[in-house]
Amino acid sequence: MKKILFSLSILAIFVVSCKNTKQEKMGNPLLSSFNTPFQVPPFDQIRPEHYEPAIDSAIQLAKQEIDSVAGISAPATFENTVEAIAYSGKLLTEVYSVFSNLNEANTNDTLQKVAEKITPKISAFYDELFMNEKLFGRVKEIYEKKDSLNLNPEQNTLLGYTYRSFIRSGVSLPAEQKEKLKKINSELSLLTLKFGQNVLAENNRYKLIIEKKEDLAGLPQTVIDAAADAAKENNLEGKWVFTLHNPSIMPFLQYASNRELRKQIQQAYINRGNNNDSLDNKKNIARILELRIEKAKLLGYNNYAEYVLAENMAKTPGRVFDLLNKIWKATLPVAKREVTELQDIIKKEGGNFKLEAWDWRYYAEKQRKLKYDLDESQAKPYFKLDNVREGIFKVSNKLYGLNFKELKDIPKYHPDVTVYEVTDSAGNHQGILYLDMHPRASKRGGAWMTTFRSEHKKDGKKIDPVVSIVCNFSKPAGNAPSLLTFDEVSTFFHEFGHGLNYLLYDATYPGLPVPPDFVELPSQIMENWAVEPEVLNFYAKHYETGEVIPKELVDKIVKSGHFNQGFATTEYLAASFLDMSYHTLSQMPENFDVTGFEKQALDKLGLIPEIVSRYRSTYYQHIFSGGYSAGYYGYIWAEMLDADAFEAFKEKGIFNKATADAFRNNILAKSGTDDLLKLYVQFRGKEPVIEPFLNRRGLN
């Protein structure tokens, strides 16, 4: 996913000429110009104690800049007001980007305590900015005469977004309600932070320790080796340790013959944040929802989903539910058919039990072998992480002319990280790319793309991006390198699609947002190349022999594209419905019980007991500590777009230059700078349709 940081939005870049602060003289590297290659953050010099004073100084500088814009005596113009706001906040953006990214990817107790101190300060700064009536008066003056200003599409988009940001932040509210909204925002900032910290702690504290070798039955040797390495790291040499990180738990659920152990680890996974202890998230959820409803009502909306979706492609909860219900109606019968098929396997093997959630992946893997003669462990040796990375680089080169050169002598925030200079076909610098691929206790779960610096232009000069892709793929284990499942391969392609979006972005103004139901288009379309036979042939090579993946194995992978789609689509849709159920509440029910509400919502939907929602409430970081509240549907909305968009590539060739140029120029380079549907139609020549999506998932 695209990691949506707590960012300054339109306050994305602050032109600061006065960095000679007391902290700088005292040696705070965050308050000095970054004297590093390509001006990347000086990670090797930054210490935890630098962050809070740097944030304090940056906020003060930002306030001075905003006050100077609000206090201009000259009549308001686009340049002296809207443009000036857009270019403000550079230092604060730089400092907070470094901090927030490291707090996600390489955190510790100290950083988490710093986060608790600085988060309310940044929330308060936002409130002060967007409730500044004098500043808003200047923006409003320009907005009301916009039709006579002859603005280009990006300027018009920036003006509209700036104006709406003030309105949506409560600038027009009475003073008493403004103060109430400030308190809501401050409390929400801490609650969402705490939610994520609890999930990280839950991920790290659970360990399934196996002492008997027979309990490893069914597991591939690479998985066993990884568990042995994990045991050594925990001073449990001679044993095997499995954790709740995806590279550990998912293969265990997929291959382990011991049903009781599968149940144990699966139950631990789905009950994260729901153990009635210090890491329990139920009270956090209830309070987050209560505050979001209050915020929405203050701003004139019936519920929080209405507030969020007003800025998304979907626009209304009704349109989201229409799409989800249409797909759910097509999907549920497929999932029920898959239950019957898996239950038949259990019966044929002599099992006298009903299929349960902890059985699904295990028997689905058996079904994959039966249906397609495909054992995922047979394919995994062909997906060496290094080769997959080089394959992605080659796809990016063939589509967009990009080249990637590893940089050795450049600051990194962790030894696992690799860094690349990205250049275009003419050799011009395009940006810097960080890759952080393996799990560790200091990193939250999942995969995401983020930026340390976003592309924009200032005084005619292009400011190049610094992009980071963070994943949690299996480490090298035993004598084997890091080998990926095909799902992990798809994840890498997905996150790289986000990266390409931000490496190729070509806009003048920083901070223009892209909603989840469009921002996932560049990432999800990239997944299509991962499974194309032509592409597999140049990156899928056996890690021992160098043999290119056999055509018959490629054919099996392609043919299995519809495999288990009832399960995959149902678990995703359940999470999307759950998100919308929470955020369409117009008031909190009496004696609100998170577990009971979740069960009621999913039972009403008709979710079958053999499938668990992809995210249960208490570890649902996308909506309770990320930027996807009332927006998790965006993945499937964007998949509808990407399935339709990829048809254009298939019609003319997956590396057709004209098609790639059209996608680059209209989607990757311009996301957020103009009306999103308009940009899509400019690429595709027509509005998107849902049929390619349904065909891809085998739901027609």
Q: Give me the mean pLDDT over the 100-128 stretch.
A: 96
Q: Which CATH number fits domain 384-512: 2.40.50.1070, 1.10.150.120, 2.60.120.680, 3.40.390.10?
A: 3.40.390.10
Q: What distance in Å separates the CA atoms of residue 413 and residue 416, rounded to the nearest whole number?
A: 9
pLDDT exceeds 50 at position 345: yes
- Is 495 an active-site residue? yes
pLDDT of amino acid 19: 35
Q: What are phi and psi of 430, to 5 degrees?
A: -110, -25
User: What is the predicted pLDDT for the residue at 6?
Assistant: 35
Pairwise CA distance, residues 193 & 159, whole Å: 31
Give the pLDDT confidence score for residue 561 in this predicted structure: 86
Asked whether the predicted pLDDT for residue 8 surpasses 70, the reply is no
A 10 A CB-CB count for 547 gives 12
Arithmetic mean of pLDDT, 148-152:
96
Higher pLDDT, 630 or 14: 630
pLDDT of residue 3: 55
Mean pLDDT in the chain?
A: 94
- Look at residue 17 and tell me whether its pLDDT is greater than 80: no
> Is 80 exceeded by the pLDDT of residue 483?
yes
Identify the residue with better confidence: 554 or 9: 554
Joined together, the tokens standing for residue 461 give: 């000069």
Tell me the DSSP string of 359-419.
GHHHHHHHHHHHHH---HHHHGGGBBHHHHHHHHHHHHHHHH--EEEEESSS--SSTT-EE
Q: Sorting pLDDT into bands at 50, 70 and 90, what band is 96? A: very high
Residue in the structure block whose two tokens are 């680059």: 664
Diameter over CA atoms, the chain: 84
pLDDT band (50, 70, 90) for residue 700? confident
Question: Tokens representing 163?
Answer: 């104006």
What pLDDT score does 197 carry?
97
Question: Which one is catalytic: 65, 365, 488, 495?
Answer: 495
Reported confidence tier of residue 302, pLDDT bands at 50, 70, 90: very high
DSSP 505-539: ---SSTT----HHHHTHHHHHHHHHHT-HHHHHHH
Residue 464 phi, psi dihedral angles, 5° rounding: -80, 150
Output the pLDDT for position 26.
Answer: 58
SS3 2: strand
Q: Are the C-beta atoms of residues 244 and 268 closer than 8 Å to each other?
A: yes
Q: What is the DSSP letter of 353?
A: S
Mean per-residue pLDDT, 489-518: 95
| 3-state SS class at 447 | coil
Q: Does position 13 have pLDDT exceeding 70, yes or no?
A: no
Q: Are 524 and 635 in contact (CB under 8 A)?
A: yes
Q: Is the pLDDT of residue 595 over 90?
A: yes
> From the CB of residue 152, how many other CB atoms can be counted at a distance below 10 Å?
11
**Confidence grade of residue 698 (pLDDT, cut at 50, 70, 90):** confident
Pick among 3.40.50.10490, 3.40.50.10860, 1.10.357.10, 1.10.1370.40: CATH of 1-130+132-168: 1.10.1370.40
Determine the Cα–Cα distance for residues 605 and 570; give it in Å rounded to an integer: 11
* CB-neighbour burial class of residue 174 (10 A; exposed 0-12, middle 13-18, buried 19+): exposed
Percentage of the chain beyond pLDDT 90 is 91
* Burial bucket for residue 416 (CB in 10 Å: 0-12, 13-18, 19+): middle
Single-letter residue type at 696: R
Please, is 71 exposed, middle or buried when counting C-beta atoms within 10 Å of its C-beta (0-12, 13-18, 19+)?
A: exposed
CA nearest neighbour of 628 among 491, 510, 519: 519
Nearest to 465 by CA among 522, 412, 520, 505: 505
**pLDDT tens-digit map of 195-213:** 999 999 999 999 999 999 9
The C-alpha angle 472, 478, 484, rounded to 5 degrees, equals: 35
pLDDT tens profile 440-458: 999 999 999 999 999 999 8
Closest by CA position to 683, among listed 696, 670, 695: 670
Residues facing residue 197 across a β-bridge: none
Write the single-letter amino acid at 251.
P
Predicted pLDDT at 27: 86
Give CA–CA dist 180/299, Å, rounded. Answer: 12
Lowest mean pLDDT among 3-7, 115-119, 651-655: 3-7
Whether the predicted pLDDT of 679 surpasses 60: yes
Q: In the structure, what pLDDT confidence band is assigned to residue 2 with cuts at 50, 70 and 90?
A: low
Instruction: State pLDDT tens for residues 268-284.
Output: 999 999 999 999 999 99
Residues of the chain with CATH 3.40.390.10: 384-512
Residue 408 neighbours by CB distance under 10 Å: 7
What pLDDT shows up at residue 477? 87
CATH 1.10.1370.40 domain position(s) in the chain: 1-130+132-168
pLDDT, tens digit, 9 for 90 and up, residues 529-573: 999 999 999 999 999 999 999 999 999 998 888 899 999 999 999
Structure confidence by residue, pLDDT tens digits, 609-651: 999 999 999 999 999 998 899 999 999 999 999 999 999 999 9
Range in 242-251, 510-519, 665-674 with the lowest mean pLDDT? 510-519
Beta strand segments in 170-296, E: 208-210, 240-242
| Confidence (pLDDT) at 377 | 85
**Which amino acid belongs to residue 285?**
I
For position 699, what pLDDT does the model report? 81
In angstroms, rounded to a whole number, what is the distance separating the alpha carbons of residues 362 and 350?
A: 16
Which residues fall within 8 angstroms of residue 86, CB to CB, at 6 or more apart? 10, 11, 12, 13, 158, 162, 509, 510, 511
Between 513 and 404, where is the model more confident? 404
Least confident of 172-186, 328-342, 555-569: 555-569
Question: What does the pLDDT read at residue 21?
Answer: 40
Contact 449, 467 (CB under 8 A): yes
